[in-house]
Structure 1
Amino acid sequence: MSRKWLPPEEFAAALPKATVFGAVFFTDEGDRPVQLRATYSSTHPWQWQGGIAEAGGRPWETAVRECREETGVHLAGPPKLPATVFGLPGKEWPLATVGFVFDGGRLPPGQLAGIVLDPDEHGQVQALTVPEWQELVPGRDHVRLEAVTAARRAGIPAYFGTWDGEA
């Protein structure tokens, strides 16, 4: 079998494209996941602190910056990675998604109460049990929340590979 080797730019143009995000998973001292109510998304109304990496950005630096901008919480390292997330493109988002979910630890009551939200992005912060979140988030977001919570508790990183866009 013969192969035709393409120049790197042609080969790269033929590959699937993806966005990369960095997010921070916090819980309160009762081990209840903390999420932020988005002001701009009805598809994913409750989210972790984080965002899509900008050109040249790295997932950890993106998570640190976005967390500080969205909540006022400053993360120290080193990064701990309880999960990675992958999703195929869908009708609402034309690119695949690759995400790195970093463990932000447990927020004591004073720090949780001291979160300052960016009103352009989020309007509320909540710490609820995983079952309580089920009523508030889409099914695939809840499955992802369960996977990340379980991975953090077990200390074994999770790969959540079915966070696909809506068909």
Structure 2
Amino acid sequence: MTHAWLPPAEYIATLPRATAYACLYFTDTRGRPFQLLATQASEHWQWPGGNMDPGETPWETALRECREETGLVFTGEPRLLGAHFTTDRGEDWPANHIGFIFDGGELTDEQIDAVVLDPEEHSAYRVRTLAEWEREMCPRSFRRLAAIDRARGTGGTVYLETAEDF
């Protein structure tokens, strides 16, 4: 089978579309995950982060979004805990979605107390044990949280795929 060479713009038009997000995974000093409650989807807990802007790297996105959503300025080095890929985000999202979850380290009680939420994006933040999060989150979101927490604990990286992991 032979393929004709296409100019880059034409070739790119044939490829699947994708959006990308990046976030920081924090725990408190006792190892309890820190999450934000989204205003647009009640009961949807998430990490500080969001969609990439044009020309931005995943790391730059994670830092910017964390600052915008919590007021926290993270100065650590990038350490990837996981990558997430899904093709199924519902009929109203006609693109693949790719995520990068970075290790934000531990937050002190003082840092947590200083969090200032953007009320347009999040209505609350919480620090809970994994057992407490499991009772509060939907199963597929909790599986993602638990996998990222395990990756941090082992020093590894996890790859998550499909809507079931999201």
**TM-score normalised per structure 2:** 0.92
Q: CA RMSD in A?
A: 1.8
Task: Look up the match of 1:120.
Answer: 120
Of 81-90 and 148-157, more deviation after overlay is shown by 81-90
Task: Look up the match of 1:84.
Answer: 83
Task: Look up the match of 1:49.
Answer: 48
- Structure 1 residues 135-154: aligned runs within 5 Å: 135-154=135-154
Shift of 1:136: 2.2
CA–CA separation in structure 2 for the residues paired with 1:72 and 1:88: 32
Count of residue pairs the alignment pairs up: 165
- Structure 1 residues 1-167: aligned runs within 5 Å: 1-42=1-42, 45-89=44-88, 90-163=90-163
Which runs of no fewer than 5 residues in structure 2 stay unpaired? none
Q: Deviations over 1:37-96 (max 9, x none)?
A: 111124x61110000001112111111011011111101132111111111133242211
Of 90-99 and 68-77, more deviation after overlay is shown by 90-99
- Matched letter for residue 110 of structure 1: E
CA–CA separation in structure 2 for the residues paired with 1:6 and 1:164: 36
Contact 1:36–1:123 (CA under 8 A) maintained in structure 2: yes
- Matched letter for residue 5 of structure 1: W
Moved over 4 A (4+): none
Q: Deviations over 1:78-126 (max 9, x none)?
A: 2111111111133242211111101110111111111111111111110
Which runs of no fewer than 5 residues in structure 1 stay unpaired? none
**TM-score normalised per structure 1:** 0.91
CA–CA separation in structure 2 for the residues paired with 1:70 and 1:29: 21
Give the secondary structure class of the aligned counterpart of 1:118: coil
Q: Quote the sequence identity (%).
A: 44
Shift of 1:164: 5.8
